[in-house]
Structure 1
Amino acid sequence: MSHSLRRFVPILDWGRQYDRKALSNDMIAAVIVTIMLIPQSLAYALLAGLPPEAGIYASIAPIILYAVFGTSRALAVGPVAVVSLLTASAIGQVAEQGTAGYAVAALTLAFLSGGFLVLLGVLRLGFLANFLSHPVIAGFITASGILIATSQLKHILGVSAHGHTLPEMLASIFAHLNEVNWITVLLGVSAAGFLFWVRGNLKPLLKRLGTGPLLTDLLAKGGPVFAVVGTTLAVWGGGLAELGVKIVGDVPQSLPPLTMPGLSGELVGALLIPAVLISIIGFVESVSVAQTLAAKKRQRIDPDQELIGLGAANLGAAFTGGFPVTGGFSRSVVNFDAGSETPAAGIYTAIGLAFAAVALTPLVYFLPNATLAATIIVAVLSLVDLSILKKTCGYSRADFIAVAATILLTLGMGVEVGVASGVIISVLLHLYKTSRPHVAEVGLVPGSQHFRNIHRHEVETIPSLVTLRVDESLYFVNARFLEDLIQSRVTDGCEVQNVVLMFSAVNAVDYSALESLEAINARLKDMSIGLHLSEVKGPVMDRLKRSHLIEDLNGKIFLSQYDAWKELTRAPVPQAAV
């Protein structure tokens, strides 16, 4: 079997070493994750504005396809809060919720997202995700968590409300406060309070009671199931649906159907940009989780193959009645902590969810929407991390501005504007930082051959010699900055006779930067000042030799900065260098 085939279909690799121990660990992990996923899948379908069964459908075929094509052994793929919110925002602009067109738009969004991810993976363009800075991603996820929690308040209160931004949602909720159903409030608040208590207190309590580790994990992760069972029984036994409590109602008792996304030009055009944004956000979130979990077991993932795995999962969702999916943080951590050994755990989870879709859906008829809303609120509030503002404010003003802008734009103008602005801000932040490369004027550390920043260390300098250490690669964005810096330095005084550019940290010089170096050389030559280079890396020198700079250089190229110092200053050799 060829190595390239195993690379594109990782199941052919890990599947060859699959043994009984891995089977046992994967089965246990699958049971725990399945218990967690049943209420979570229903809840995220509600968040996306889709029928509850869509959440289960989106958790079956995508998990299996990721297990075949993905490289992470712990990542659990399916509906997640942020992607569900993005889905609702995107398709809410092209179709009315509850209509057949809305469901078709969700399928189309998953299809476009999957196709885009697979294309990136085949072209090995996973590095593009690096253009989203972590602070911006953290700001977007924090704002999305606030939006998601706010969007679910209408279900907790039992009122009709709408809106895609925080001001719209709050205004709509306040406008409908006279419609509050207090029985729904009691159910929702009780479920949320119980879930918060379970998250922080149930596992320690069970350990104190001497419960075994496996049973403790099952009961702790099954908190949402207990909330679902308790509130469903309360609605059924008390006839609360007749008192205005909104319930899930009929859920089809079947396996995922074969579906076809809509491919009309108008629909594809309307959803293409949202699909790209959802793909980028989903991939960044997924690969971050996968890399973190892989590192704990000294495993590795292939980001480009992850694109193919996630793309296949989304294509699977498009043809089986789902909506866009990605790797979820909470379920992946649960999968990892439960002892998952291989992606086969995901396949067993899919089997468990398929059984639930066939046999258990009638049991959720009286499940109140308020309970699903409580499940979402408790899950997404863990995503809200406003401390990122304080952290970035104290560390980097540029990062703080980027985070604050992303949060405010997401809350005030919606998730699509927020994620688009996050991408733009990340790129602009990168360009801003690289447009002002760190260039230090250096001098000789006494008694050594080392050179350090003259503003940080006690070093030797010669008025006739200026040495500038360039600490970044030179390209079109920052080339002019170096021109201006040298010009201002040599015009400050008339004693400068030589300028040395220390290129020890320069890994590349593009054509724009080459032209700037040629301009610097010509300008210094007119001023009777020599321009020299030192410590130029081999690949950079190979590129420079293809130009006229080397032969036109108004100076020399030195192997080391110390060689340049000795020749240009005629200084005695320090004792330590003899």
Structure 2
Amino acid sequence: MHHLRGYFPILNWGRTYDRNAFSNDMIAAVIVTIMLIPQSLAYALLAGLPPEAGIYASIAPIILYAIFGTSRALAVGPVAVVSLLTASAVGQVAEQGTAGYAVAALTLAFLSGGFLLLLGILRLGFLANFLSHPVIAGFITASGILIAFSQLKHLLGVSAHGHTLPQLLTSLGEHLGEINIITVIIGGLATAFLFWVRKGLKPMLRRLGASPTLADVLTKAGPVAAVAVTTLSVWLFGLDDRGVKIVGDVPQGLPPFTLPGLSPDLIGQLMMPAILISIIGFVESVSVAQTLAAKKRQKIDPDQELIGLGAANLGAAFTGGYPVTGGFARSVVNYDAGAETPAAGAFTAIGLAIAAVALTPLVYYLPTATLAATIVVAVLSLVDFSILKKTWGYSKADFIAVAATILLTLGLGVEVGVASGVGISVLLHLYKTSRPHVAEIGLVPGTQHFRNINRHKVATDPTVLSLRVDESLYFVNARFLEDLIQSRVSDGCAIKHVILMFSAVNEVDFSALESLESINHRLTDLGIGLHLSEVKGPVMDRLYQTHFLRDLNGDVFLSQYDAWKALAKSAEMKNAAE
């Protein structure tokens, strides 16, 4: 049963579910449902899909995550970045508005779900660590900019298109003559209102005496108010006949059973985008889940999260949706509203199902400009250029990674941007570890501690070169250590012993072993002894399996201090050691 609970977390929290948790979950579900109705419609628009696809993608996936997920506050569904990635990927294989486009979106969700599920079963959640935080921040910032610019066509009432910033700007410039003034007014007022709701409505309601809960609910319902007012205005004044684009007919009913396309050609075209969407979605989801779990001293299982998100995406694929993940904004709202368990998500799904059955006719006259305003206000909070300043001041390499990710995403598209981000993250790691920090160390007088000679006043011996290696040794950096020692022990030098302090070395791979053997042979030819100190047990176990220790012309010491006492020759150094 314990093993079963590992794969079905609902068996853990469900055993202690009580009336108080039910009450808190229901309140959170009402607030999140109110927020999600316009947001789901808007994100479907961003993905290039019919508006109902956003609601469908928020029903079955939420329920499946509640069964398989480990976070008690994460709210799963369509999010801005994944919606943009979906539009970019699907737009390359099918034309927007066609049946093939919808099938491709289902296939993308199916492939993403399958990939996430496979990673979870194989316990490979650590692979997400290949995306560094600066690169993720740069990608999300660039995506926020792209999303905002992609919605300008709806705010202006023009038919521009494009997947990169230059394409979008060029297309907008070519269609400026098509601007619909009424659409601009609706979009502008809706955007201004939503910005004000985010910043000013809650403080105003609190000043007027509203309770914190009521003020929070009314603030989250701001987009619903914008939807209601603009929809009513279009209907009353017949603005759709004056060029204002509206949502139109939205099928009324529960999510249908759908089948993704499984043709080899389609799968081949969407496989790589599906993998990228899975990784980005997982990183965003786990980051949010861990942050919220830490606030209540709870924990999540990243590998089980993969299974939960995989199940959610498979659910979207068979119920008319598209790729989903855990959203930051809705998860924070869910947490702040008092959600106790994943059941809050299931109740949210029920609320959205009711909306799909009963409320869709009410959005017939909803202007797409209002949905675009909802998206713009939501995604601009993702744009954070301060990461450039922070990385510039802390690490130029990380700054280059962030700047490159932003520029490539804006200039070449989101898929190239995220793929480049992964590549840059890996290259940064390889670059940093290819030049490991190796400090020459000496004895701190009166102690048994050794420190960097460039940072502390320490005792040294001209006949002993002590080097502390602060990195595991593997094929990328092995030659660096070899070259460093070679440069220090030129002919005629006074050095008689080289001590490699391995206290920070967790692994020595075969390439590094060959470099150590080469160092040993060269030093032997020069009449210099090679010694090791503070070698960790697992590293010693590996070295014992080779000829290296038998061929070593020096000794292996338990501590650096033992090596120093045995090898330091001058009387002054001996006195310092004593």
TM-score bracket, normalised by the shorter chain, equals over 0.9
Q: Retained in 2: the 8 A contact 1:446–1:574?
A: no
Alignment partners' CA distance in 2, 1:561 and 1:287: 42
Q: Which runs of 5+ in 1 are unaligned?
A: none
Partner residue in 2 for 1:399: 398
Q: Retained in 1: the 8 A contact 2:183–2:244?
A: yes
Partner residue in 2 for 1:432: 431
- Does 2:225 correspond to 1:226? yes
Partner residue in 1 for 2:306: 307
Partner residue in 2 for 1:365: 364
Alignment partners' CA distance in 1, 2:156 and 2:53: 24
- One-letter identity of the residue aligned with 1:412: G
Partner residue in 1 for 2:540: 541
- CA shift, 1:245, in A, is 0.2
Partner residue in 2 for 1:510: 509
- One-letter identity of the residue aligned with 1:281: I
- One-letter identity of the residue aligned with 1:544: L
Alignment partners' CA distance in 2, 1:493 and 1:124: 55
Partner residue in 2 for 1:336: 335
1:365-410 residue CA offsets vs partner (Å, 9 max, x unmatched): 0000000000000000000001111111111111111111100000
- One-letter identity of the residue aligned with 1:31: V
SS in 2 for 1:474: coil
* Within-5 A mapping of 1:38-53: 38-53=37-52
- CA shift, 1:490, in A, is 1.3
Alignment partners' CA distance in 2, 1:552 and 1:406: 48
* Within-5 A mapping of 1:148-159: 148-159=147-158
- One-letter identity of the residue aligned with 1:252: P
- CA shift, 1:139, in A, is 0.3
Q: Retained in 2: the 8 A contact 1:447–1:574?
A: no
Alignment partners' CA distance in 2, 1:92 and 1:492: 66
Alignment partners' CA distance in 2, 1:14 and 1:544: 47
Alignment partners' CA distance in 1, 2:549 and 2:364: 79
Alignment partners' CA distance in 2, 1:212 and 1:398: 48
* Within-5 A mapping of 1:347-496: 347-491=346-490, 494-496=493-495
Partner residue in 1 for 2:180: 181
SS in 1 for 2:196: helix
Q: Retained in 2: the 8 A contact 1:155–1:373?
A: yes
Alignment partners' CA distance in 2, 1:255 and 1:573: 83
Identical-residue share of aligned pairs (%): 80
Structure 2-normalised TM-score?
0.99
- CA shift, 1:539, in A, is 1.1
Structure 1-normalised TM-score?
0.99
SS in 2 for 1:287: helix
SS in 2 for 1:539: helix
Partner residue in 1 for 2:73: 74
1:461-494 residue CA offsets vs partner (Å, 9 max, x unmatched): 1111000000111111111111111111112861
* Within-5 A mapping of 1:218-257: 218-257=217-256
Alignment partners' CA distance in 2, 1:558 and 1:451: 15
Partner residue in 2 for 1:561: 560
- CA shift, 1:175, in A, is 0.8
SS in 2 for 1:469: strand
- One-letter identity of the residue aligned with 1:331: R
Residue correspondences, number: 577
1:26-73 residue CA offsets vs partner (Å, 9 max, x unmatched): 000000000000000000000000000000000000000000000000
Alignment partners' CA distance in 2, 1:494 and 1:192: 73
- CA shift, 1:213, in A, is 2.0
SS in 2 for 1:13: helix
- CA shift, 1:421, in A, is 0.4
SS in 1 for 2:499: strand
Q: Retained in 1: the 8 A contact 2:459–2:573?
A: no
- CA shift, 1:572, in A, is 7.1
Q: Retained in 2: the 8 A contact 1:165–1:410?
A: yes
SS in 2 for 1:468: strand
Q: Retained in 1: the 8 A contact 2:473–2:508?
A: yes
Change (3 A) 1:566 1:324: same
1:254-304 residue CA offsets vs partner (Å, 9 max, x unmatched): 100000000000000000000000000000000000000000000000000
Alignment partners' CA distance in 2, 1:383 and 1:405: 18
- One-letter identity of the residue aligned with 1:290: A
Change (3 A) 1:542 1:572: farther
Partner residue in 1 for 2:4: 5
- One-letter identity of the residue aligned with 1:371: T
Partner residue in 1 for 2:526: 527
- One-letter identity of the residue aligned with 1:174: G
Q: Retained in 1: the 8 A contact 2:206–2:215?
A: yes
For the aligned residue pairs, the C-alpha RMSD in angstroms reads: 1.1
Q: Retained in 2: the 8 A contact 1:256–1:320?
A: yes
1:180-214 residue CA offsets vs partner (Å, 9 max, x unmatched): 00000000010000000000011111111111122
Alignment partners' CA distance in 2, 1:229 and 1:341: 31
- CA shift, 1:228, in A, is 0.4
SS in 2 for 1:321: coil
Partner residue in 2 for 1:99: 98
Q: Retained in 2: the 8 A contact 1:257–1:320?
A: yes
- One-letter identity of the residue aligned with 2:278: S
- CA shift, 1:238, in A, is 1.0
Partner residue in 2 for 1:213: 212
- CA shift, 1:573, in A, is 8.7
Alignment partners' CA distance in 2, 1:471 and 1:17: 48
Alignment partners' CA distance in 2, 1:278 and 1:203: 35
- Does 2:44 correspond to 1:20? no
Q: Retained in 1: the 8 A contact 2:76–2:326?
A: yes
Alignment partners' CA distance in 2, 1:421 and 1:454: 40
Q: Retained in 2: the 8 A contact 1:448–1:574?
A: no
Alignment partners' CA distance in 2, 1:155 and 1:559: 70
- CA shift, 1:577, in A, is 7.9
- Does 2:284 correspond to 1:285? yes
1:420-473 residue CA offsets vs partner (Å, 9 max, x unmatched): 100111111111111111110101111111100011111111111000000111
Q: Retained in 1: the 8 A contact 2:460–2:573?
A: no
Alignment partners' CA distance in 2, 1:519 and 1:313: 54
SS in 2 for 1:253: coil
- One-letter identity of the residue aligned with 2:529: G
Q: Which runs of 5+ in 2 are unaligned?
A: none
- CA shift, 1:574, in A, is 8.2
Q: Retained in 1: the 8 A contact 2:443–2:577?
A: no
Alignment partners' CA distance in 2, 1:181 and 1:246: 10
Q: Retained in 1: the 8 A contact 2:461–2:573?
A: no
Q: Retained in 1: the 8 A contact 2:568–2:574?
A: no
Q: Retained in 1: the 8 A contact 2:565–2:577?
A: no
Partner residue in 2 for 1:146: 145
- One-letter identity of the residue aligned with 2:550: E
